[in-house]
Amino acid sequence: MAETNILGLQDQFGCPICLDLLKDPVTILCGHTFCMVCINGCWDQEDQKGVYSCPQCRQTFTPRPVVSKNAVLAEVMEKLMIEHQARRPAHCSTVTEECDICTGKKSKAIKSCLVCLASFCETHLQPHYESPAFKKHKLVEASRRLQEQICSQHDKLLEVYCCNDQQCICMLCMLHEHKGHDTVSAAEASAEKKKQLLKTQRKCQQRILDREKEHQELSEAVEFYERSAQKAVQESERIFTELIRSIERRRCEVTALIRAQEKAAVSRAEEVMKQLEQEIAEMKRRDSELEELSHTDPIHFLQSFRSLLDIPGSADVHSIELSPFLSLEDVTAFVSQLRDKVEKFCCQEFRMVSNAVKEIQIIPLPEPKSREEFLQYSCQFTLDPDTVNKHLCLSERNTVVTCSETPQSYSVHPDRFDYYLQVLCTESVCGRCYWELEWSGHHGVSIAVSYKNISRKGKGTECLFGRNDQSWRLFCYPSCYSFRHIKKEIKIPVMPSSSRIGVYVDHRAGTLSFYSVSDTMKLLHRVHTTFTQPLYPGFVVCKGSAIKL
């Protein structure tokens, strides 16, 4: 805020030449005000012309006006300078320059002469103000870098600026090496450049304020998201714990019911078994008696026959409906159905929860520009041997794929592409991800990203990268590029100049970009969509072609 106030004061009380707060302010005839040193320096360079002009409005004066310090404004500026110096940061303070003339203890230099190439204190500076011999010497603020203001070729003061070559020159340079060039005085050029500098500085300061505001807003958003996420996790844990306890109670109740049924059935069966055992014992005893009776004499047999003829009564066991084996398959089937229904319900509800989470808006980060920035998101991928077509050959630890006329002896696998010359990577893409590859071959290759559930069997379009809603595909030929998704094919008006391709994915932002990589990153094609599943890099390799990750 203090710096902003000083900039405001510079607008009102700044010198149009040096763009700093006015020092020894003088007001010339047209009404504009400058530092005394600044206006004298400008007019010193116009002495040869004999016509003097205002650096701001270009009004001319003849002869050279006599300037005198504006005492009222000087007093105001002195107070502003004190405030300005008090508010300047410590690191902005300058190193004190010492007088080159003083012997013994050096006094502080207040001015430097570009003709004498020396710095003077207030005492030793007086001859430059009083003696006519020093009248045309140019005085500037005390500086240690005086030699930098002298032409290295002619040992003359650098007082002219060449607009063509964008450099400071001396008068001899202007007459020889830079003859005919567009030139202005160094002071005028400095004033114009300082205006540009001030604009840039203000833009920079405004950018700082904007970025600080954005940083603060993002910081508050992150803090809010963290609190919300923690609260959501705690509530989810509590609800799932209650759900698990409820299911556990139901499990205990079902178990208790089954055990109760088991106990009742076993108890009844044991009771019937006891009755049967008693009846069997009685029948065995009667059988023994009958056997014994059959071996007696006829008289005894006839006398006893009637009493043993009747068989004792038996329990009606047929009225008890009891299977030989205890079976509760109906209960098991019911519990299985209950499990399936709960899982189906949970899946449906989880989609709603997941969609609710995805609806939280996060400000997307800008896409990287340079290769160094892209490589910050670099990911390593390997080709999946379970998906590779039998006419594709993998090598170098599954990072190189080539086309082979001889079928490979791959095992039968449901994930293998059985018709198209395609292969997917083992790893999926999540978040921000960047990878590069080298390709070769006269018949070209295709670089794709695909959902994992893309079809693998047959020669329908549902299996071919770029011909369905499951995949996106860039064709790379020696003479051209093209991009395809479903039925839409886009010809890319770029001639291939590099065999290295970079692929950048921002899954959350729904961005897919393909770049030609050489000394620079050249965008080939960019897609903006919504990715609903994890993406897997995939490739199509034609006869005589190869890809190396």
Closest CA to 496 of 549, 544, 449, 439: 439
Distance CA 526, CA 505 (A): 10
Does the structure show a pLDDT above 50 at 2?
A: no
pLDDT confidence of residue 140: 81
Q: What count of residues does the chain have?
A: 549
Q: Which residue has the tokens 């395809």?
A: 484
Residue 37 neighbours by CB under 8 Å, 6+ apart: 23, 24, 111, 139, 140, 141
- Contact present, 132 and 152 (Cβ < 8 Å): no
Give the whole-number percent of the chain exceeding pLDDT 70: 89
> Which two tokens mark 307?
């009493």
Distance CA 372, CA 380 (A): 16
pLDDT confidence of residue 528: 93
- Contact present, 383 and 423 (Cβ < 8 Å): yes
Burial class (CB in 10 A: 0-12, 13-18, 19+), 456: buried
> Which two tokens mark 127?
């001859």
User: Which is more confident, 334 or 60?
Assistant: 60
Distance CA 392, CA 546 (A): 9
139 DSSP β-pair partners: 113
Query: What's the rounded mean pLDDT across residues 429-445?
Result: 93
pLDDT confidence of residue 321: 55
User: What is the chain's mean pLDDT, rounded?
Assistant: 85
> Which two tokens mark 57?
């409005």
User: Which is more confident, 305 or 225?
Assistant: 225
Query: What's the rounded mean pLDDT across residues 264-286?
Result: 88
Query: What's the rounded mean pLDDT across residues 78-91?
Result: 61
Coil, helix or strand at residue 472: strand
Q: Which residue has the tokens 């860039």?
A: 474
Coil, helix or strand at residue 262: helix
Distance CA 325, CA 303 (A): 47
User: From the centroid of its chain, how far is CA 263?
Assistant: 65
Burial class (CB in 10 A: 0-12, 13-18, 19+), 464: buried
Does the structure show a pLDDT above 60 at 486?
A: yes
pLDDT confidence of residue 4: 43
User: CA distances (Å), 342 to each of 42, 243, 247, 336, in order?
Assistant: 90, 11, 10, 10
Distance CA 379, CA 399 (A): 13
User: CA distances (Å), 119 to each of 44, 103, 124, 142, in order?
Assistant: 20, 13, 9, 6
Closest CA to 388 of 404, 365, 366: 404
33 DSSP β-pair partners: 27
Closest CA to 338 of 239, 237, 256, 251: 251
In this structure, the number of other CB atoms found within 10 A of the CB of residue 544 comes to 13
User: From the centroid of its chain, how far is CA 110?
Assistant: 53
> Which two tokens mark 427?
């790893």
Does the structure show a pLDDT above 70 at 317?
A: no
Strands (E), 357-431: 392-395, 400-403, 422-424
pLDDT confidence of residue 181: 94
Does the structure show a pLDDT above 90 at 389?
A: yes
Task: Using DSSP bridges, classify how beta strands 500-506 and 432-440 pair: parallel, antiparallel or unpaired.
Answer: antiparallel
> Which two tokens mark 412?
């039968």
In this structure, the number of other CB atoms found within 10 A of the CB of residue 465 comes to 26
pLDDT confidence of residue 105: 87
User: Which is more confident, 335 or 199?
Assistant: 199
pLDDT tens digits for range 210-269: 889 888 988 888 888 888 889 988 998 998 899 899 989 988 998 898 888 888 888 888
pLDDT confidence of residue 85: 61
pLDDT confidence of residue 271: 87
Residue 142 neighbours by CB under 8 Å, 6+ apart: 97, 108, 109, 110, 111, 112, 119
pLDDT confidence of residue 318: 54
pLDDT confidence of residue 182: 94
What is the widest separation between alpha-carbon atoms in the chain?
183
Across 69-83, 324-338, 509-523, least confident range: 324-338
pLDDT confidence of residue 10: 55
DSSP element (H, E) containing 201: helix 186-293
Q: In this structure, what are the phi and psi dihedrals at residue 505, rounded to the nearest 5 degrees? A: -130, 130
pLDDT confidence of residue 95: 55
Confidence band of 322 (pLDDT split at 50, 70, 90): low
Q: Which residue has the tokens 């707060």?
A: 21
pLDDT confidence of residue 358: 55
Amino acid identity at 493: P
Across 4-13, 110-119, 482-491, least confident range: 4-13
pLDDT confidence of residue 187: 86
> Which two tokens mark 273?
């078994």
Quickly count helices (H) and strands (E) in the chain: 9, 23
The conformation of residue 458, written as its DSSP 8-state character, comes to S
The conformation of residue 152, written as its DSSP 8-state character, comes to T
First to last CA, the chain: 53
Distance CA 168, CA 160 (A): 6
Confidence band of 93 (pLDDT split at 50, 70, 90): very low
pLDDT tens digits for range 22-38: 888 899 999 889 888 88
Confidence band of 538 (pLDDT split at 50, 70, 90): very high
Does the structure show a pLDDT above 50 at 90?
A: no
Query: What's the rounded mean pLDDT across residues 378-400?
Result: 95
Does the structure show a pLDDT above 50 at 94?
A: no
Confidence band of 448 (pLDDT split at 50, 70, 90): very high
